[in-house]
Amino acid sequence: MSRRGTQKKKTAKYDPICRSRFVNMLVNRMMKHGKKSLAYQIFYRAGIDIRQNTKQNPIHVFRKALLGVTPRLVVKTKRRKKGKTYKVPLQIPFSKGVLIGIRWLLGASRKRSGTNMASQLSAELRDAAFKKRGNAIRKKEQTYKMAEASRTFAHFR
């Protein structure tokens, strides 16, 4: 008889100061070469910058930006008979959408011009939360346009 039991679903841990799972997910994604303390410093400096510029709670700004960037649909490539490939729109669960949104936010903030990563991240979060623009929002709109264009292939799921 096998001794392997069923795996428990992993739960995301909270970050120590803000007690937010989303912040912990962002920091883990931002981290390079295992330097988590540096990633936390970058996020908290971005929070200080957001508080100085907008006079609002940076966690609320981050959540608003993340919810604005989180996609509900993605486009996947499916291969059919005779070598044809189709782009099929698929609905995704909220947790996977959050991961994609975090990836887009970090990628957009890294591409921004700025003095340091904290200022780039705070600028991207402010743009996504309040102005509904920025590269992360543009990426979401692009994905939705592709899903709308390939809506005719939805039956290939």
- Which domain CATH number covers 139? 1.10.455.10
Instruction: Give the residue with greater pLDDT, 60 vs 152.
Output: 60
Contact 66, 98 (CB under 8 A): yes
| 3 occurs within a structural domain | no
| 77 occurs within a structural domain | yes
| 16 occurs within a structural domain | no
| Helical axes 36-54 vs 21-30, angle rounded to 10° | 120
| CB within 8 Å of 81: residues ≥ 6 apart | none
pLDDT of residue 154: 62
| 8 occurs within a structural domain | no
| 90 occurs within a structural domain | yes
SS3 112: coil
Nearest alpha-carbon partner for 63 in 135, 125, 111:
125
Enclosing domain of residue 28: 21-156
Question: What does the alpha-carbon distance between residue 103 and residue 110 come to, in Å, rounded to a whole number?
Answer: 11
Question: What does the alpha-carbon distance between residue 132 and residue 56 come to, in Å, rounded to a whole number?
Answer: 17
Residue 119 gets which letter from DSSP? H
| 83 occurs within a structural domain | yes
69-115 pLDDT, tens digit per residue, is 999 998 888 777 777 777 888 889 999 999 999 999 999 999 988 78
Whole-structure pTM value: 0.83
| 99 occurs within a structural domain | yes
Q: How many domains would you assign to the chain? A: 1
44-63 pLDDT, tens digit per residue, is 999 999 999 999 999 999 99
CA distances for 96 relative to 29, 93, 136, angstroms: 14, 6, 16
| 7 occurs within a structural domain | no
SS3 12: coil
Average pLDDT over residues 10-28: 84
- Tell me whether residue 145 is exposed, middle or buried, using C-beta atoms within 10 angstroms of its C-beta: 0 to 12, 13 to 18, 19 or more: exposed
